[in-house]
Amino acid sequence: MRFVTFNFKFVICVLQFAFSLLFAAPVSASDTWKAGVAKAKITPERLMWMSGYGARNKPAEGTSLDLWAKALVLEDPRGHRAALVTLDLVGIARDLSQAVCDTLRQKHGLERSQVMLAVSHTHCGPVVGRNLSAMYFLDRQQLQYVDDYAARLEETLVGLVGEAIGRLAPCSLAWGNGQATFAGNRRNNNEAEVPQRRAEGRLVGPVDYDVPVLAVRDDRRRLVAVLFGYACHATVLNDYQWSGDYPGYAQRALEASRPDMTALFWAGCGADQNPVPRQKQAYAEEYGRQLAAAVERVLAGVMPPVEGELATSYREIALPYAQLPTHEDLVRQTESSNKYEAQRGRILLAQVDAGRPLSPTYPYPVQCWRLGRDVRLIALGGEVVVDYALRLKAELGRERTWVAGYTNDVMAYIPSRRVLAEGGYEGGGAMVYYGLPTVWSPEVEELIVREVQAQAANEQASH
């Protein structure tokens, strides 16, 4: 009995020692990841025009939930860095992304592949630069507000990444996937029928309920950042109050009980997904709680550690349009009774008359990050339909493949071949609001997927 007692006490001591190392001992900076986090309020100081809905006929009237920009900078054990910036905005245009990334290269040595700019696509944020240029009819003062806000935002984002770099400290990373089910395919379900259809299990159409989660803990195992995503439009609210919509409420809920933790949201391929029912403040808060609860369940479970190194890649591919309009076509557009089509016609006609012919392609951004040996984060520009996420996960591995839309440049809807053939708003009708000359060519899906696969293959080769 004495021998057994001695061994039992010995085992307890060994276990206590092991747990003390696991949960208390500082992590060596030479063999682990580092992370730095920073955030800044980006709620407009002026009551300027809101983005997302063309039917709005006046500027914002106030704030129901502040808008935020947040930066998470990761550094792998060999010193390779990546900066992810999340924004409570409907979109950003290519020129703003380029300006921010050019300055970050000059100031901090970050190459284009090392910077990812992701928006939540809230429809209760401001007009940003020339994004959705054909949707708005602004007077001189409002145009000045828009330009001023974009200039301040650029400065803020550069400073934010620099602040996060300055806070780099040893950390551990872990990942997991949860689920939230409030998204519904808006192309395949009549909105008025969704609540009953959902209750009866009769919703149809492709969806992506995954909630990817990346947990960042410091050298004392304290949670300092949570990165998560979901594929659903942030279109619960349509009023005149600044708000991050349900993604903003999800972030607020996660941060509420952890004042020293930053929650960052990226939007998945939810261009054809809506939260229903909607158009009430209570719904935005409820969906935010549901999404936060999904993240909390992942955090409470067993999360595999991220081990290995960071790989980053980025390339712009020439995404082709269908047949371009002629000069005569543009002239006819300017005379259209549809004010948005007429506005687009005027914008494009002015471009052509200034000696800048319409391009047959658009420089479309595709970005891939590999977090250790475990997780691949694919970032696609524009409003990407859910077919892309489902296909890429099926081809590259569902659990370890995360697919974000609305990153780096929100230039238009990006339909799959199926959606393009079906037509409708996501299939081509929305192109007018973005000021693009025509619909996409049927080959866009294959071109985008092929580029993702090429970047993924290069990452595999480098490992």
Angle, in degrees to the nearest 10, between helices 339-353 and 327-334: 140
pLDDT at 418 exceeding the cut of 70: yes
Rounded to whole angstroms, the Cα distance separating 244 from 87 reads 9
Angle, in degrees to the nearest 10, between helices 444-462 and 386-396: 40
> What's the confidence (pLDDT) of residue 458?
87
Mean pLDDT along residues 252-278: 96
Every domain of the chain and the residues it spans? 33-309+364-427
- The SS3 call for residue 175 is strand
In this prediction, residue 374 has a pLDDT band, given cuts at 50, 70 and 90, of confident
Q: Residue type for 143, please?
A: L
Name the helix (H) or strand (E) containing 117.
strand 115-119
What DSSP character marks residue 161? Answer: H
Count Cβ atoms below 10 Å from residue 134 Cβ, excluding itself.
23
pLDDT at 169 exceeding the cut of 60: yes
Q: Residue type for 295, please?
A: V
- The SS3 call for residue 109 is coil
Name the helix (H) or strand (E) containing 380.
strand 375-380
Contacts of 431 (CB under 8 A, 6+ apart): 412, 413, 437, 438, 439, 440
Question: pLDDT digit string (tens) for 331-353?
Answer: 999 999 999 999 999 999 999 99
Cβ distance 325 to 333 under 8 Å? Answer: yes
Rounded to whole angstroms, the Cα distance separating 273 from 184 reads 5
Rounded to whole angstroms, the Cα distance separating 276 from 261 reads 30
Mean pLDDT along residues 81-110: 98
> What's the confidence (pLDDT) of residue 21?
39
Question: Any bridge partners for residue 242, and if so which?
Answer: 63
User: Which of 194, 192, 188, 181 lies closest to 232 in space, CA to CA?
Assistant: 181
Rounded to whole angstroms, the Cα distance separating 365 from 113 reads 10
pLDDT at 5 exceeding the cut of 50: no
Count Cβ atoms below 10 Å from residue 406 Cβ, excluding itself.
29
Cβ distance 364 to 382 under 8 Å? Answer: yes
Cβ distance 414 to 379 under 8 Å? Answer: no
In this prediction, residue 75 has a pLDDT band, given cuts at 50, 70 and 90, of very high
CA 230 to chain centre: 9
Mean pLDDT along residues 258-273: 97
Mean pLDDT along residues 106-132: 97
Rounded to whole angstroms, the Cα distance separating 211 from 268 reads 9
> What's the confidence (pLDDT) of residue 133?
86
